[in-house]
Amino acid sequence: MEYMTSLCKEIIKKRKLILELAKADFKKRLAGSYFGVVWMFVQPVVTVLIYFLIFGPYGFKSAPPVPAPYVIWLVPGIVPWFFFSEALNAGTGCLQEYSYLVKKVVFPVEMLPIIKLLSCAMVHGFFLLIMCGLYFCYQWWPAVTWIQVIYYSFAAFMLALGLNYLTSSIQVFFKDMAQIVGIMLQFGMWMVPIMYDEGLFTARAPWIGIFFKLNPFYYIVAGYRDSMLTGNWFWERPTLTLYFWAVTAALFLLGLKVFKRLRPHFSDVL
């Protein structure tokens, strides 16, 4: 807890530096590209289009559990997943990417996963605007609960940050960690009911619903849909909320502990 307290103080103290480096990281993605920021959105938009064609009215005709078009139900589930998966993929290799900063004694290395996540959050902000624009196109007008996506984005940020402290520190010594994270994310996407209705499984075996909810990201997906579609607030899921933050806190403390233990050896290996 002492280390966590000092980390919070360091974040507050160096908040301007963190934001500047996050902006620089965001701009770096656009350097040397003719289409610049367009490439950040092409793959996710194409992914949404593919799932819409496969599971929507032109494919398997999956019916969402709410009275809404399939794409309106799909997007609030897949947008936070894009953020989470990009954050984990990018954050896992952040120490290697910024090895020149890691080797500087005066630089607080603990800030690097936060910087990388803030850079990903900037892209996520654009996707939230696109999601709202899509809802307007379907004449689905704003509700007061839409503001709640900020809370669920923060929840996804904290979950990814805890995991990134763990994966990025291991990646320095075990180079295959990035590939393992990529494979786990491929599995993870299908272990959360993002493209399909969980009722397809729980109707036959109710215990599968518990299995879904054990995945902490289930809370994020359900929360985005509660905010954008059904108008429910996060306190209406008290058990799931407490479970999510308990798991997130445990992962965060574990990640910080491993990071702190391995930190003295980063510069030697890099």
Tracing tokens 């997130």 back to the chain, one arrives at: 248
CB–CB of 83/121 below 8 Å?
yes
pLDDT at res. 264: 83
pLDDT at res. 224: 94
pLDDT at res. 166: 92
Tokens matching residue 261? 């233990």
Q: How confident is the model at residue 269 (pLDDT cuts 50, 70, 90)?
A: confident
CB-hemisphere CA count at 13 Å for 113? 24
pLDDT tens for residues 26-46?
A: 877 766 555 656 666 676 777
CB–CB of 149/225 below 8 Å?
no
Instruction: Name which of 82-86, 119-123, 160-164, 265-269 the model is least confident about.
Output: 265-269
Tracing tokens 């939230």 back to the chain, one arrives at: 128
Give the torsion sign (CA, 68, 243, 209, 189): positive
* Start-to-end C-alpha separation, the chain: 28
pLDDT tens for residues 205-260?
A: 788 888 888 899 999 999 999 999 888 899 989 999 999 999 999 999 999 889 98
Q: How confident is the model at residue 70 (pLDDT cuts 50, 70, 90)?
A: confident
Tracing tokens 């839409």 back to the chain, one arrives at: 146
Tokens matching residue 91? 């954050």
Residues in the chain: 270
**Percent of the chain residues topping a pLDDT of 70:** 90
More confident residue, 202 or 228: 228
CB-hemisphere CA count at 13 Å for 267? 11
- pTM comes to 0.89
Neighbour-count burial for 114-153, b at 16+ CB within 10 Å, e otherwise: bbbbbbbbebbeebbebbbebbeeeeeeeeebbebbeebb
Across 16-20, 49-53, 63-67, 199-203, the highest mean pLDDT is recorded for 16-20
